[in-house]
Amino acid sequence: MNPTTIIVLALILVVVLYAIQIYNLLVRLKHNVTRAWSNIDVALKQRHEELPKLVEVCKQYMVYEQETLERVVQARGAVAEASRRGDPRALGRAETELRMGLGHLFALAENYPDLKANDSFRHLAQRVSQLEELIADRRELYNESANLNNMRIEQFPDVLIARLMKARTFDLLQFKEARQDVDLGALFR
């Protein structure tokens, strides 16, 4: 073999190995996003199971607050549906509604001393609050994974491999109240 053939074969080998490395990285990023979404889904399901218990305890005390309780139940259903479909935009909207409903529910609970003193209510409220924090942490991880994936599939030369493997971008999961101040006065009207 002449030296030119060896150099050409070596360059082809380097390009092929580099393309394989890019492909493997893109696959890993895609699976990181999927895993992060699954982690959010687990926390959402846990909260989904706790909310009916919380609403039931509240119903015993909050006879005049049916609208708030129904709002939480409806938002819970919307979150479950968006999560099942894997739709980050719909999930973000539904989560915003649910969080507003829960905020309203907890604010109203302040008007019911017997409810606040109820061990079940305190335990469930604490559990739901812990799950809210867990969901926020997992949302951050999901958004980071989705953003890394989205950046890589748009960078050159990764974009060439990404197009061949039909890699897709992922929507970020955003909740509106994260950017808005809560109107505490409106909660107590």
DSSP H/E element including 52 = helix 3-61
Q: What is the CATH number of the domain that holds 172?
A: 1.20.1440.20
Q: Which domain holds residue 95?
A: 3-187
- State pTM to two decimals: 0.75
Q: E-strand spans in the chain?
A: none
Count the domains in the chain: 1
The C-alpha atoms of residue 17 and residue 82 are separated, in whole angstroms, by 40
Taking the chain, what is the end-to-end CA distance rounded to the nearest angstrom?
Answer: 87
Q: What is the pLDDT along the chain (189 residues), one digit of tens a residue?
A: 899 999 999 999 999 999 999 999 999 999 999 999 999 999 999 998 988 888 888 887 777 778 888 888 899 999 999 988 988 989 989 998 998 888 888 888 888 888 877 888 888 888 988 998 999 999 999 999 999 999 999 999 999 999 999 999 999 988 775 444 444 454 444
